Structures are given as structure tokens and as C-alpha cells.
Structure 1
């Protein structure tokens, strides 16, 4: 109250020195005095309330701080199922100046938290600091045990810890928060960067006022994809695997996963380990023969061939390099046969007919040479030759010489079977109307129609047969790429992929798989994509079709049987 007395005395003193105060001046002084009284009273009342809420609540000076902590909004899938939510946890701190005996306090705390570093703990407790964190995210049992120790100068602070019901299932999409519950990767980081962090900073973020943050992901489909990747890695003895399901009309990512991954609830330093890279969007690879999708579409779109054209497939030499077939299927092939038999020579000749500049322009148009624009922060920049020459164009035609991400590849493929429209991918819900407003025509509708027919042929007769699920009509293209090590292709290590679309007569989804360094299965002739990447897509379609509301079509025979029920 000393401040109040001095302020009042000064006002009174000034009043005595004034002979005849004006009424307006008198009212101003009265108002000022009232403000001072109110300010001091509010400050005192506020401190009393604060001490009443956060003051001593326990034994021997041990207390629990209940200072307000901002919740993060729940992250939910497209159907409202929770993917990430906040849980309250207690964190242990000390006020070292109040610690009576640092040795005794250290020994006591270590009886409950033996994993703490004894030296570091003692140093904190023996310092003259006003505050020091000791351990974050205690279990209720640990909190109670430490509370029962009754150590003066040690207390708890209620904090928030992120919990992910799916564990590892959507690890690379959801991302992580740090110890302070701030998003540091994945869609958690996007959430913060999109304005939530600013709300936290202003204190406006509270669970009561925050709506759930909805993603385009379908948790059921995500589970199917993740389970298939786990199975594939084990069965094919691979070092990594990945998959994505993409809506071709909206650009929505319905599911995406990359293995190896980690349980988001027990992440530790797993995100920093190289093998846990998100290979679908943050890794670049030579995509092998899946690039023949784009070469075929390019040749059709520029009109240098028609779907009925024949192209010479005999070996030829360019710039000292001989381009030949892996399997020779004849001296010439039709355009669909080039795709079906995965002809390197035929694809190279198609690129030659288009020309180097137009080839580079077409791949740029498809987004294959650019860093993908989407919400997920972890996105890699594709690589390409600094200077495109004829030999570069020909090898890129069959998947060697350009490295891009699997997600870039899936999005580009979607553009060639959805009518010719490039739609930027999104991890947020998007309607068809919203997609139509931003889509860009990058290929003729007739090109897209021809590509559907070629996809279908390969699914029924070519390397995509293992992906074709009865009733769901999956078409697509395999890709088997030898990995580059020390500047040379390693013939014993492969990066395989399959890009599928279904139902192929009127495609709704792209389903893509990758499998890194698969081994030859017993009873199989080799470890090419037709024996591993293609079946992976088939299994995903088989498990996810119901969740995607795609009904099987068994033709007239099936329809007749259904009418009998």
C-alpha cells in the first residue's frame, strides 16, 4: 500500500498548491485516484487468487503447478476418427534455492527415476537457480511416488503430451511434437505453421475453442496399407517399402506410409535415423519402367504415334551407348505392346520422335522434375541432368537418369488417367468442385483414354497381372530399377515399384507400392516388380476397396448370380 499512499499524497499536495481547481480538473483527479485504487486492489486480488490455485498443495513445501497449458487440437481422419490427441501428464521440476540437502534429494529422486543421470541431477539440485526441469512426462505412478518422498523445493507442472492411437501406422504423415508439444515434423508442423502456434503465443488456444484438425487420410485404408508394407518387407526380405492411395479426381491422399517407421508414442531419436526416411515424399529414386507411363503418354499426346502405331525395337547405339531389350519380343512392337512388354528400345525411340526439349517440357508439366507443393513439410527436390542431351532423353524414357519421389510419380500418373488434369496433392479434405477450380489440363482427354486402355491391357496380360484383383479391374505398370552405388548400377540390388489404377474403366484411385532391395522368393524366377510390387498393390486394393466404397464388378455372370439372391 506504500505506492498508494505516496501517489495519494502527491495528488493532495498538488491540490493545496492550486487555489481554485476547475470542476473538470477535480473530476479528473478523482477518476485518477479511483484508477490507482482499482489497479492496486486488482493486483493484490490477482496474486491471492494465483496463490490459492497454485500454492502449496502437499507436504513439506511440495506443490503442483496448474498454470494453464495450451491444448493442441485433435487430428482426425476424413471420417472423424482420432489420429492424434492430447493427454495430461506431470513433469518434475525443482527450485534449487529451496533444496535443503542436494545429496539426499538426489538419492531420493533416483529411487523413483533411476534412469536419470545422477551427476546431472545433483548439479541441478545443488545450483542456485530459481528453476530447473528434472524430468518431463511422468507416469501417474512415478508422480505419486515422488510426491510421497516429500522433498521441499520439488514440484510438478501439468503439461500436455501427444498421443497417437495408431502408433506407427501414419508416422510419416502425422509427424511429431517436441517435449513442449510444438509440432516439429509432418502435419503436426503444418498445423503449427498454419496459425496454431500464433494462437498459442497469444494464449487464445484452448481445447474448448479449437475444432479438430481434419486430414484427407482414411484411418482404415491407412491400416490396410501399413499392414501390407509390414508383410511385404518380411516376405521379400527387403530393406524398405512404401505405399500411397490417391484420389485421382480430388488429389486427396487417402493413405500413405513408408517403412521402416516408428511408434510415434515412443519415437526417441528414431526420426533422426537414416533408415526411417519418408521414402514416399522425402526420398528420390530412379523409378525404372514406371517412367514408361509418361513416355507412352507423351508420344501419344504429341501425336508422334497413335495407339495402333508400330515402333522398331531392334537394338541401336547412341553416343557410344547401345540400347537393347531385357527380353526381346520382336523387331517391332505396337505402342500397347511396348508398354506391355516394357520395351526399353521402343520407349527410347518414342522419346527420340518427341525430341529432347519437348520431352523435358512434358515431364516438367507433369510435376516430375519439380519439388511437390503440398502441406507435408518433408518433400524432396527431384534431380535431372544439368544439360539434357539425346542420350539423356532416351535413357530417361525408360526410367534411368532422373530421380523423383514416388509421390511425384503417383500424382503424375493420376493426371494421365483422370482425363488429363494435373491436380496438386493434398493431405487435407478437398471436394471435387474445389479440385476442379485448381486443376490444370496437361494432356488431351484422348491421351488419357488411350492410357486407360493400355493400363488395362497390362493388368490383364502384362507385368501387372499380379496386381489385378478379380472384380476390381486394376491396371498399371511395373518398374524394376537397378540401384546406383558408387556411380555404377548394381545388378544385384533393385528398387521396385508398381503404379496401379482402379477401377480402370473409370478410375477413382491410384494405388502405388515401392519395395527396396527385395530378395528372390522361393519358387519365383527373379525379384522383379511383377513378383513383389504388383502383388502389394493387389493386396492393398483387396483390403481397402470396401472402405473406399468401390463395389466389385463381376460382369454379367456376377450380376446374374447376384440377382439369384
Structure 2
């Protein structure tokens, strides 16, 4: 091989000498040209570097530049606003801490340094992640800016930050069950946050089609001012009456819009879960996720008597002047049905409502019949799952086979369990002219509501029911909810609570359904108290618990809802005197 190379060099040498002898001149490279090319190359290199530096200088500073953010799109969620534009939920920029275990030199030293910034750091778990052979490990999600700065100052190799979005709820628990919350990855888990994902946002995000561009906000039907009042009242009532839970909802009778909805105990969506000192999850706190207004069903007690009387009136089996015999208890199928503080005499229909007669409403249901009774409640939407945007709505329960005893007990609110929200919506249909309008948590105009409304009772029936609710509000159990000037009508419901399939005689589920102003109802309010131990003046019935809650809510929120008080009439005006 060596000899072959030597021969080639010799041939080349002889060839050059031969060409030179023939007068062919061989030119040598010019050193000045080489230098010029080198200078031009360096100039171009420095120009490129300088241009890149200028570009970086003009670009907004990234929240964290320790990772290629182009590979990890930071997706934004739309802001959530109330009906007046008040902010309910928004995104804020944050960072999360991660490690690249393969680049970590000393895992023990890293854990010790990180613990100086994050005292609650799990040493063993963090050490395990740092010692793993993986390329990526999360260490802590959603750090504060101070934590990020302190960790950067430590200068730990193999540690970086990834920019993320964190959901922030300015009102805290005020509208927790309406707005809902998201998980650590900013995906909706409950309430309207989950509804937003169900409208296609989650699919777009999964497909990588979302980015950090601000999206159009989602406006809700609730009024944040009224929502605060409702939540405050039911929170105080639960404490005052030593109850297991309490709740309330306000529905626009003309549009079906939900103006406010609160269920306590609740939670702070900024901190949907809590960790105890021993590191376990606080399950008692997570019970606050349960929304009893739309996600739970209850036997609504005597509030159902309004539906029973409306059924009889609409079918023509009774009129407001009809009389039913309530002089003696009803014995049926081994059960005895009697009145609580009964009058033991025949009652007119307004008296049946006023004195909350089980015997009287049972007699009305008997006149209609089992099939007619079931059809009427189905028509009002009380036996089927409610249609609305709120995820996780509970399905009502009813007997598999309706017998006469079922129809009788259901007539006064036992044997069928519905959600408080759909009970309020059905009551709205009885007093708004007879139109059933599915509830909505999004703004809806009267014209839009008219397009989806379904006539479920006659206009005359609705007029009669307005009279009955107003009559009971003035003369019956509704007096505890009466607010001067706002013409409140309503009906109480005190039901024995069902526990493990049996009625507990000493534990109540109390509810009150109200409408105002009854001359032309605009709003329906439903309040409930679950298992109160006490009430106003020592009572435990709905008149002593749920009705006073309704009174407080209306007194504080009616003006905000645009309802003006009325004192006196044009025939007998109230004389105002200035002292």
C-alpha cells in the first residue's frame, strides 16, 4: 500500500515537471483572497448573531425559559362572567417545577436545597423521582413567583420550570357550585367549567388546537350580588339551625334563568381539596363538592300539595269553592293518613292549602286517578331528568308501579324524590301563566324563553294557583316568609327524612317554595334546610326554618332584582308624613 502511494506521488511530480517544461504555468492560490473570504465569513457570522440578539431583546420575556415552550402549548380557558360582567373565573400565568433525573448530579443535595424553599416537600417521594431513570419528572405544580425566584437562585442542575395556566376564582366559595372548578391540568371537573369543556373545548385541547390566546368570555345568568346574599343567608342558617346542610335557588319565572344558587356546606374552588397533617386527603372538606340543589333528590313534602291542587283544578275535578271531607283519617293498605294539627272537618280548597291537609290533598288525587296523577307530574317535569347546562343533574325517583297508596302519599310529597331546582321550575310554571321553561345558567331573553316554553296548565289554573300561594302567604305557613311591600306567596314542606330506606320521625327535610310579587310573579325562590336541630322559636318545621331563610333572601335581594316594593293600593293609598 505504501509503495503504491509513493509511485502515485512520483508520477504527479513528473507530470508537473513535464508541463512546466512545455511552458505551462501553474498558478498558486492568492493569500489575500483567502484572508478576504475568512473576513467575510466572520462578518456574516457576527451579523447573524447580532440580529438574533436584537430579536431576543425585542421579544417579551418568557415566564420561564428553562424549556422549549414551543413544544408545550399553554392553553387558556375563557373567562367566566356573571350577567353584569363581573369576573367569576379567569386564568393566571404560573410555572411548575420539573426535573430531568438523568442530568441530576446529586439527588440528596437537590432535595435538601429544594426543602429550603418548600418546607412541606415530601423528601422520600422527591428523592425517588430524582433517582429514577426517566427523562422527565414533575416535582411541584403551580409555584408562586417567590418560590420560582428562590429556586432559580439555588442554581440546581437538571431542574427547570414549565409555564402553565392556573384557574383563579376571585369570589372564592361564593358561586362554587355554579362555576365549578378545574383540576391541576386546567380541565373542568364540575359546574359550568365542566360544561365549557363539554362544548368542545376539551376536544380542541386534546387535539393541540388551543393556545394562549384569550378566548371570548362565557357570561352566566347569575347575578353575583344576589348570589353573595343567597350564599350568606343559607350559610348563616345552617349554623344557626344546627343543620346538616342548607340551600336555596332563585329562578326567573318568565325566562327560566337561574339568578342565584347556593348549597352549603361548600368549598373554595381555588383549593378544591385539602391535605391533612398526616398527608391524607380531607374527605370532609371534599363533601362540599356535593351540590344539593341540582345534584341531589329529596322528598319535598307539602310543597307537592301545590302540584296536587293544580292537577285537580286543571282537570276540572275541583274549583276554588269545592269542599273535601277532612273530618277523619284515611286508612289504606295498612297505613293511616292523618293531618298534622288537623281541623277534623270539611275544608274548602284554600283551607286545604292553608292548613296543609294531607287528607284533603289525598282526596283530590283520588278524584284525578293514578294514571292522571302520574301523567300530570310527568308533564311538569318532576319525574324525569331535568334538562339544563349544569352537569351532574340527578334523576328523580318514583315507584316502579303506581298503586293507590303511592298516589295518595305522593299527593302530599312522600314517595317521589326530585331535585330542589326542578321543584322550583315546576312551581314557576304554576304561577307564570302555565308555561314550563327549562332552567338555564346562561342569559336568555323573554323571546327566546317563549320559543321553548311548553304550556302545562291552563291560564285559569295558573290564576287560581297564584291566589292559593298568595292566600297561604297571608294566612298560612307562608307568613314566616312575608316581606312587607313585596307580596310574597308560598308553601312550606316539612318531610320526614328518608335514612337507609326508612322515615326518621325526629329528622326533617324542610323546604319552602315562594313567588313574588304574586300580582305578577317575576321570581321563584326555593329554600331548604336538611336535618335542622332547632329553628325560630324552638320549632323544627319548615315554617320555623326554610320560610325565614326565604324572607331574608327576598328582603335583601328584591331591590337588586329590580322589584319595587308596593305599599297600599290606588283605592287606599298610604299616607306619608314627613316629620
TM-score range with shorter-chain normalisation?
0.7 to 0.9
Cα distance in 1 for residues equivalent to 2:476 and 2:336: 25
The alignment's TM-score, normalised by the length of structure 1, stands at 0.87
**Are the aligned partners of 1:417 and 1:451 in contact in 2 as well (CA < 8 Å)?**
yes
* 2:422 equivalent in structure 1: 408
**Are the aligned partners of 1:65 and 1:158 in contact in 2 as well (CA < 8 Å)?**
no
Comparing 123-132 and 76-85, the one that deviates more: 123-132
After TM superposition, the structure 1 = structure 2 runs for residues 287-298 of structure 1, keeping only pairs within 5 Å, are: 287-298=300-311
* 1:69 equivalent in structure 2: 74
How many residue pairs match? The answer is 519
User: Deviation of residue 95 (structure 1)?
Assistant: 1.1
User: Deviation of residue 272 (structure 1)?
Assistant: 8.0
Cα distance in 1 for residues equivalent to 2:348 and 2:66: 85
Cα distance in 2 for residues equivalent to 1:363 and 1:59: 59
* 2:191 equivalent in structure 1: 186
Cα–Cα, structure 1 residues 347 and 69, in superposed 2: closer, same or farther, change >3 Å?
A: same
* 2:556 equivalent in structure 1: 543
* 1:29 equivalent in structure 2: none
User: Deviation of residue 50 (structure 1)?
Assistant: 12
Gaps of 5+ in 2: 1-51, 275-282
1:360 partnered with 2:374: yes
1:153 partnered with 2:153: no
After TM superposition, the structure 1 = structure 2 runs for residues 107-506 of structure 1, keeping only pairs within 5 Å, are: 107-206=112-211, 208-268=213-273, 273-274=286-287, 276-313=289-326, 314-506=328-520
* 1:532 equivalent in structure 2: 545
Cα–Cα, structure 1 residues 437 and 264, in superposed 2: closer, same or farther, change >3 Å?
A: same
Residues 267-286 of structure 1: per-residue CA shift (max 9 Å, x gap): 11669844641100111111
Cα distance in 2 for residues equivalent to 1:57 and 1:535: 55
Cα distance in 2 for residues equivalent to 1:58 and 1:440: 53
CA RMSD of aligned residues (A): 2.8
Q: Which has the larger radius of gyration?
A: 2
Comparing 120-129 and 76-85, the one that deviates more: 120-129
User: Deviation of residue 441 (structure 1)?
Assistant: 0.4
DSSP 3-state at the match of 2:142: strand
User: Deviation of residue 562 (structure 1)?
Assistant: 6.3
User: Deviation of residue 65 (structure 1)?
Assistant: 8.8
Cα distance in 2 for residues equivalent to 1:310 and 1:57: 78
User: Deviation of residue 429 (structure 1)?
Assistant: 0.5
**Are the aligned partners of 1:459 and 1:465 in contact in 2 as well (CA < 8 Å)?**
yes
DSSP 3-state at the match of 2:177: helix
Cα distance in 2 for residues equivalent to 1:237 and 1:534: 16
Cα distance in 2 for residues equivalent to 1:164 and 1:94: 30
* 1:28 equivalent in structure 2: none
The alignment's TM-score, normalised by the length of structure 2, stands at 0.85
Cα–Cα, structure 1 residues 483 and 411, in superposed 2: closer, same or farther, change >3 Å?
A: same
User: Deviation of residue 214 (structure 1)?
Assistant: 0.5
Comparing 95-104 and 350-359, the one that deviates more: 95-104
DSSP 3-state at the match of 1:244: strand
**Are the aligned partners of 2:75 and 2:205 in contact in 1 as well (CA < 8 Å)?**
yes
Cα–Cα, structure 1 residues 562 and 111, in superposed 2: closer, same or farther, change >3 Å?
A: same
Cα distance in 2 for residues equivalent to 1:149 and 1:311: 84
